[in-house]
């Protein structure tokens, strides 16, 4: 069964901490994406990567960075967490040229 795995289901971090959210896929997909999901706002694209070591900003990249050193792993980094980054974070992947994304189960991050 193909999978996108997010390392943590729930996280609580303090304001100012550096936070790493990890995502691993086992489908050999080239493209990977990070979204955040908030009530009333839906899914918003933070960053995406079309291949190893490549990254592009999405619609709301401010306050975030990403790392893609290996094809199967895409990390989202909050350099200095703030309370407005409290959200559900969803990772997704897809094969190049295909429309269907496969999602991870999400990480619910609370910044206090």
> Taking CB under 8 A as the rule, does residue 40 contact other proteins?
yes
Q: Is 28 left (phi over 0), alpha (psi -120 to 50) or beta?
A: left
Structure tokens at 76: 């989202």
> Any contact of residue 41 with other proteins (CB under 8 A)?
yes
In the complex with other proteins, the residue whose CB is nearer, 17 or 51, is: 51
CB of 100 to other proteins, least distance (A): 6
Contact 81, 111 (CB under 8 A): yes
Selected binder of other proteins within 1, 10, 14, 99 (CB under 8 A)? 99
Q: Which of 94, 88, 91 is nearest to 111 (CA)?
A: 88
Is residue 103 a contact residue for other proteins (CB under 8 A)? yes
């Amino acid at each position: 069964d193909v999978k996108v795995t997010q390392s943590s289901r729930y996280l609580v971090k303090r304001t100012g901490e550096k936070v790493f959210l990890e995502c691993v896929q086992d489908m050999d997909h080239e493209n990977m994406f990070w979204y955040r999901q908030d009530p009333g706002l839906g899914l918003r694209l933070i960053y995406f990567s079309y291949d190893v070591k490549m990254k592009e900003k999405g619609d709301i990249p401010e306050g975030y960075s990403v790392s893609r050193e290996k094809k199967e792993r895409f990390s989202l980094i909050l350099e200095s967490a703030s309370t407005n980054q409290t959200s559900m974070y969803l990772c997704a992947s897809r094969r190049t040229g295909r429309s269907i994304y496969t999602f991870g189960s999400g990480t619910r991050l609370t910044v206090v």
